[in-house]
Amino acid sequence: MDNRPIGIFDSGLGGLTCVKEVMKIMPNEDIIYFGDTGRVPYGTRSRDTVIKYVKQDINFLETFDIKYIIIACGTASSAALPFIEEEYATRISGVLYPAARGAVRATKNKKIGVIGTSGTVKSGKYIEAIHELLPDAQVFQKACPLFVPLVENGMTEGEATRLIAEEYLKELRDAEVDTIILGCTHYPLLTDVIREIVGEGVALIDSGAAAADFAREDMERLGLLSDKNEKGTAKFFVSDSTENFSELGSMFLQKEIDGDVSFTDIEKY
């Protein structure tokens, strides 16, 4: 048993999809969240830049004596996870394997769609993760670079968002996928719009929630779960305006996070 906090990070708001699930399935765990809102998006940057950012994000989280880190970001998981894992003593997991596992469990026709940032799609890491679990799966990928700015600006519904989503998703619809990995943790915030376009019959895999489910199993196996009885606390840090994050984050988590958001100068780490 270990009562130290879990560190979770993303380029911005997207990782809250993971935080939400952690709060649901591990309610007595303390959370330190970092959203790199000053440098979002990660998805259009080079792999080297993303690796540099990820290391700084982890260095910052490690100042809190955390017991476990969840990279709640598809882009960061695909660019950096295999390369940095061994550099840190803290156990680190990401979104790729957990989401691929969810998709493989859900698909019936073995046609799986993956939507993600340009960086994630280019890396091909979700395809690898799916094929390791289900070698004869057909995987169809689509980069959706406008989704992250839409979410970061609170545009999770409305006509403009629907039109953009329609354009991005038509290839996957034509390919008749029965499962789509929302491979960027920002995308579950667009679930209603995506669902409207692809229909009820397609399983949508929330990569943030899948990462939280996997982390719980992993921590249990490693004896890292908390044995506290009281409800866990959550502290949020961002590298840009705290107001913007508090407002959109509270809306998403459906709880007030106002007083718990602080600024950090991430370049120092």
User: Could you say which of 74, 98, 102, 188 contacts ligand DGL (CB under 6 A)?
Assistant: 74
User: Could you say which of 35, 41, 98, 249 contacts ligand DGL (CB under 6 A)?
Assistant: 41
Token pair, residue 186, equals 């920002």
The Cα 91–Cα 53 span in angstroms is 18
Indicate which residues carry an active-site annotation. 73, 184
CB of 79 to ligand DGL, least distance (A): 9
- Asked whether the beta carbons of 96 and 77 are under 8 A apart, the reply is yes
Residue 184 has, within 13 A of its CA and on its CB side, a CA count of 33
The Cα 219–Cα 217 span in angstroms is 6
Residues 183-202 that bind ligand DGL (CB under 6 A): 184-186
- Is 14 an interacting residue with respect to ligand DGL (CB under 6 A)? yes
- Is 73 an interacting residue with respect to ligand DGL (CB under 6 A)? yes
Only segment of 84-92, 162-170, 179-187, 232-240 that touches ligand DGL (CB under 6 A): 179-187
User: Could you say which of 37, 93, 107, 117 contacts ligand DGL (CB under 6 A)?
Assistant: 117
What backbone phi and psi angles, to 5 degrees, belong to 236? Answer: -120, 140
User: Could you say which of 9, 33, 34, 42 contacts ligand DGL (CB under 6 A)?
Assistant: 42
CA distances from 252 to 46, 87, 206, 263 (A): 29, 33, 15, 20
Residues lying near ligand DGL in the complex (CB under 6 A) are found at 10-11, 14, 40-43, 73-75, 117, 120, 148, 184-186
